[in-house]
Amino acid sequence: MKLPFDTILVINLQRRPDKYERIMSRIKELGLDKHAKVIRVDAIDGTAIDYDWLKENGIQPLHDYYDSYRGRGITMGEIGCALSHRECWRMIADTESQIGSALILEDDAQFTIDFLDRIPVITEQIETYPWDLFYLGRKRINMVDEEEVFPGVTLAEFSYWCLSYILTKTGAQKLYESKFHENIIPADEFVPVMIGRPSFITEKYLNYYDNIGTLTALGLKENIIVPETSAFVSSETEKTDVYFNNNFYQHIL
């Protein structure tokens, strides 16, 4: 089976082996592990990082980022999640890495029943198209009309979720070399910034990053990877301290 990626990177917390086993069973059930190398990426645990860890690792959250939907700043869990995705970008971007393109999966992803039918078609469609990132599962916001470049495949407008996306080496280099680590925001807010489709919240932060608008992102009209039903109820990113104005605040459940 020909795929648009040669590697699968699975982001997983060390303390959640159950979630890794569950997603690996899904990957193996589809036989994807026979066509792509699967690598577990040790997620950065937001409950285990603090000011000292951030400073020692040269990480700076964007001090005044504010999530207007939830009424809070970025959580430590979101910081850990963002840095986990950044580690995937580093692994792909590395010039000595044998990864050409990788499917990045969060460990609460699940495949739709038509995944195996649709992925070969998608692979053929985009083979000669100059893309950097391809969402296989996302949450479209406001359902803005998107330019269709192939049947069922569009140029992605602002979308939430970094649940599952394919990233090329060139795309990874653009993301990794963007100075994201100096102004951390949630990963699914940052990727739209890089494709030149920021939210009304992040559009004021564009001058903080490099390579803005250079990332070509495709998406699907109909997802072929979706979150588990309980993904948001049991989210590891929400129930952690909030970071805002260079201070930590206790999360209010």
How big is the chain by its Cα radius of gyration, in Å? Answer: 17
Residue range 38-81, pLDDT digits in tens: 999 999 999 998 889 999 999 999 988 988 777 788 999 999 99
Residue 231 reports pLDDT greater than 80: no
> To which residue do tokens 């992102």 refer?
217
Question: All domains of the chain, ordered by start, with CATH?
Answer: 7-249 (3.90.550)
Say what the pLDDT of residue 234 is: 57
Distances (CA, A) of 213 to 45, 100, 190: 30, 22, 11
Q: What does pTM read for this prediction?
A: 0.94
Res 174: pLDDT: 98
Banded pLDDT at 253 (limits 50, 70, 90)? very low
pLDDT of residue 15: 95
The torsion angle over the Cα atoms of residues 206, 174, 84 and 111, rounded to 10 degrees, is 100
Closest residue by Cα to residue 200 from 142, 138, 155: 142
Name residue 198's amino acid.
Answer: P
